[in-house]
Amino acid sequence: MRVTNLSQLIVFIITFTCLSSLAYAHNDEDANSSIEKNAQLFQQLLDDHWQHENKEQLFFRNDPDAFRTKGKLPDMSAVGRDRREKFNQTLIQRLGTIDVSKLSENDQVTYKLFAYERQAEAKTYQQLDRFFPLNYYSGYHSYFAGAPANMSFLTRKDYDNYLISLADFPRYNQEFLNDLSEAVDKGYVHYCETFRNYDKSISKHIVKDVEDSVFWRPFANIPARISEQVKGKLQQDAKQLIMQKVIPEYQKFYDFFTQQYMPNCRKTAGISSVDKGAEYYKYLIEYYTTTNMAAEEIHQIGLDEVARIRAEMQSIIEDVGFKGSFSEFIEYLRTDDKFYTDSPRDMLEKASYITRMMAGQLPKWFSVLPRTTFDIKSSPNGGAYYVGSDGSGTTPGTYFLDTQDLKSQPLYTLEALTFHEAEPGHHFQSSIAQEIDMANFRKKLYHSAYGEGWGLYSERLGKEMGFYQDPISDFGRLTFEAWRACRLVVDTGIHAKGWTRQQAIDYLAQNTALSMNEVIGQIDRYISWPAQALSYKIGELKIMELRHFAQQQLGEQFDVRKFHDQILKNGSLPLDLLEQLTKEWIEKQKI
């Protein structure tokens, strides 16, 4: 078009502007459509994954202590494993078709985390995990037995689903026995001394009276809302299944374990002694710490931390006026009855009091508090641990305490233990993750380094909050920290450096005030569960590093409440992603 006068020029400009606007609008629509389509593809992928996980009843990187049953039990056969591996590979391929740059900020975090998890899951199928479904403290049989303690039985459907689980146990048990039989043939078995009394964890479920069985407990107190007729039928079915299905399967497992497994147990403590064991240990370090750290590096960090903490412990010994050596003070703590209780109820009441004292201080240190409650109970299988709510609104979180072996739980470590397991430790991170609006898979994720690192950080935080007023209790806090530092030394010592069981026992006993029963039990735990114990100190050191960095960068702008909220608001994360998101948050605080 040739412009010859002002009127034509104006018409041209208007026409060009309108056409350009239409073009830009069309391009914006295309761009928005592309972004929306990309987001829909990603959401569909997440939905497909979540549906598959629920169908399989296996949630990758879930806390094993939180095992619950819901009808048919997971398929642990080779066919089931192959099916899950192939599905995981399709998810990895589909991830490649999504443009992460076109996702929202929150979805980009979810994408990075989901991609990390799928690659991590892919590695598990190539490793030896299936040959080791047992460890010193637990196993598939004890998780199954402990499941009712993690569940609520409120309706008939709850009971019907549990009956289905009981009826399905023979198949479930046999699939594990198939793997364990193959493990015996290939030499992938546990260390003899560590598993010397493990058969008791099986035999205690072989009872003559069904009402003595842990599997009967849900049926002993059926809610009054369920009619007497239905109640009678449920109890009749339960007794039949427990006596004819469940207990015989525990007998079968017991016979296999005592007659085939233990006669072939391994004679060397470290996992590196088995075929491809060194490679397996390297994989386990990555899995539990979510880092690429080498065993030698972790070992040295442990030695340095033990030396630092030991100096603080020595200072308390001097402050309380104890006349004697470090080892003599430890012996005093281990043997004086005043540091222990002889009553399970007293233990539970003392822990409850500590949680109420902590509750009053929490708003000063956190601006986001969980809505979910938690219970305090005796643990069904021993040990102290926390199990989060299932997210349904019908189950609380539960802080389990070991009241069976009261000599393994001195009172001077009860404050530290309670802050770790309950508030502000595992209950906070678990409950807040359930309550935040984010992808379902993220609500169940449990990275050991993040979770246990936060638990150990919470023990230290208690000191800042004004707890541990009794210097002996503060010594207990330090002995817990020393214990976690010692883990870096003894775990890598056993599995990478050829340490013997006794060598590890001696080291842990000399550097902590744990009772000797607990020292021995802990070393057997590390032998049978390689690398998991590394996660506590590695995770805590990363959180402390990030806090110090935030304080340095923000100066007077640093708000500890906001920092804690930031650490918790994304749920469980691998440490590199936690660091990335925290540093991005720090930069935003500067604006």
* Cα(150)–Cα(543) distance, integer angstroms: 29
Strand, coil or helix: 460: helix
Q: Peptide bond preceding 223: is omega within 30 degrees of 0, i.e. cis? A: no
Q: What is the dihedral of CA 109, 114, 120, 126, to 10 degrees?
A: -160
Q: What is the pLDDT of residue 20?
A: 55
Residue 590, CA distances (Å) to 270, 367, 545, 557 in order: 49, 20, 19, 8
- Residue 108 burial (10 A CB sphere; 0-12, 13-18, 19+): middle
- Could you read off the pLDDT tens digit of each residue along the chain, which spans 591 residues? 444 454 565 555 455 555 555 555 555 566 677 789 999 999 999 999 999 999 999 999 988 888 999 999 999 999 999 999 999 999 999 999 999 999 999 999 999 999 999 999 999 999 999 999 999 989 999 999 999 988 999 999 999 999 999 999 999 999 999 999 999 999 999 999 999 999 999 999 999 999 999 999 999 999 999 999 999 999 999 999 999 999 999 999 999 999 999 999 999 999 999 999 999 999 999 999 999 999 999 999 999 999 999 999 999 999 999 999 999 999 999 899 999 999 999 999 999 999 999 999 999 999 999 999 999 999 887 789 999 988 888 889 999 999 988 888 899 999 999 999 999 999 999 999 999 999 999 998 999 999 999 999 999 999 999 999 999 999 999 999 999 999 999 999 999 999 999 999 999 999 988 888 889 999 999 999 999 999 999 999 999 999 999 999 999 999 999 999 999 999 999 999 999 999 999 999 987
Residues 524, 296 contacting (CB under 8 angstroms) = no
Domain residues of the chain, as ranges?
A: 279-543, 544-590
Instruction: Give the Cβ contact number of residue 84 at 10 Å.
Output: 20
**Torsion-angle region of 74 (φ positive above 0: left; ψ -120 to 50: alpha; else: beta):** beta
Q: Which pLDDT score, from 0 to 100, does residue 409 have?
A: 87
pLDDT value of position 1: 44
For residues 367 and 369, give the distance between their C-alpha atoms in angstroms, rounded to a whole number. 6
How far is 502 from 461, CA to CA, in rounded Å?
Answer: 34
What pLDDT is recorded for position 383? 82
b/e string for 155-176 if b means 16 or more Cβ within 10 A? ebebbebbbebbbbbeebbebb
Pairing assessment for the beta strands 385-387 and 374-378 based on DSSP bridges: unpaired
Q: Give the DSSP per-residue string, 119-165.
A: HHHHHHTTSSGGG--B-SS-BHHHHHHHGGGG----SHHHHHHHHHH
CA atoms within 13 A on the CB side of 2: 1
The arrangement of strands across the sheet holding 374-378 comes to: 374-378, 397-401, 385-387
| CB count in 10 Å sphere of residue 3 | 12
The residues that bridge with 387 in the sheet, in sequence order, are 398
How many Å apart are CA 130 and CA 423, to the nearest integer?
Answer: 34
Q: How far apart are CA 399 and CA 376, in angstroms?
A: 5
Rounded CA separation 187/190 (Å): 9
| Residue 290, burial from CB neighbour count under 10 angstroms (0-12, 13-18, 19+) | buried
The pLDDT score that the predictor gives to residue 3 is 44
At 23 the pLDDT is 53
Helices (H) and strands (E) in the chain, counts: 23, 3
pLDDT in the model for residue 516: 86
User: Checking phi first, is residue 57 left (phi over 0); if not, alpha (psi -120 to 50) or beta?
Assistant: left
CA distance 9 to 271: 84
